[in-house]
Amino acid sequence: MHLRLYAALVLTLLSPLAPSQNKPAVPLAATPPMGWNSWNWFAEKVTDKDVRQAANLLVSSGMRDAGYVYVNIDDTWEGTRDAKGVLHTNEKFPDMKALANYVHSKGLKLGIYSSPGLKTCARFEGSEGHEQQDADLYASWGIDLLKYDLCSLHKEMGVIAPGDKLKQNVIMRDAYMKMHLAIVKTGRPMVYSICQYGHDSLWEWAAEVGGNMWRTTADIDPTFFRIAQIGREQAGLAQYAGPGPWNDPDMIEVGNGKLTADENRTHMGLWHLVDSDLLNQIEATLARHLDVEKNHINRTRFQECGSLAAIPAFAADFDLRIGRKHPRHASACEGFIVDDQCPDVHASAVS
């Protein structure tokens, strides 16, 4: 009986119909990207200085050496377009090329954010109509990852094809494919992160439009109820993940200060189980407490089994305690999980 079950499992996994077979020969994201994302802590207030401090903290905490190498800037870095349509950064990011050089000098990679619509979710400039122009710009800066967030395109789809879900889906897929092709044309490898909140079973087609990772759910929030809800929604999706493409059940909230230590550990453990690409929030001292290095070793060991047991990567969205008020909270010390972390957990000084 056991031999028959084993044989059936092997045949299933080797079947050409298995989702894990639809992978490029040499995937860009052979293992899930690991690093940091700005949104859950800084939101719209993120600056060039914050990103440099995050890069420093990834190094000084030892997380870079454990594989956490992506430093991802989320929405609100965008300025305006000039007469030629070239997008410029706003005053918070005076020189993106210089910032990329700084991040790269630390042995890290830089990620950035845009939307296939006219506007991003925070109502900044999107990439619609400027896909190749923007992709070329990102390549010239040295960008290594693009998060592409549906945002205003969702409303545009309803206006163009009211009530026609099939046509709306085609519009959406075409938009994501257009940016993928633009990235490919630049000749610079960039991890392509598709964010459209899990609509239309995108895990079945996101890899076909170039996605290296895709959001499988609506936004997370730092409550255990929401975390558990998202975790349950991931049932059955691991089969679509593997070297090259990964599920993304949204940023981990570890370190956001609103969960207990046990909830943080459960949250991280749950995300381990779903073969996912993650952009998460994790405060440096807590990361060490949770044995980040051990997680990295386990991820490497399980990766040998391909998509069956690959431990997901974590893009750490640090709570940067830098001796000033949290942009979204009343106190610089509010929400610390362990009292003695406050206020002495600082990012490394920017050199």
The question of whether 221 is a catalytic residue gets the answer no
Q: From CA 209, how far away is CA 331, in angstroms rounded?
A: 43
The question of whether 319 is a catalytic residue gets the answer no
Angle between helix 48-60 and 96-105 (nearest 10): 10
For residue 212, give the nearest of 239, 187, 242 by alpha carbon.
Answer: 242
Which among 65, 200, 219, 221 is annotated as catalytic?
A: 219
Which among 149, 250, 275, 317 is annotated as catalytic?
A: 149
With vertex at residue 209, the alpha carbon angle to CA 314 and CA 117, rounded to the nearest 5 degrees, is 85
- How would you class 180 by CB atoms within 10 Å of its CB: exposed for 0-12, middle for 13-18, buried for 19 or more? buried
Residue with tokens 């870079």: 64
Q: With contact defined as beta carbons under 8 Å apart, do 223 and 267 qualify?
A: no
Q: Report the catalytic residues.
A: 149, 219
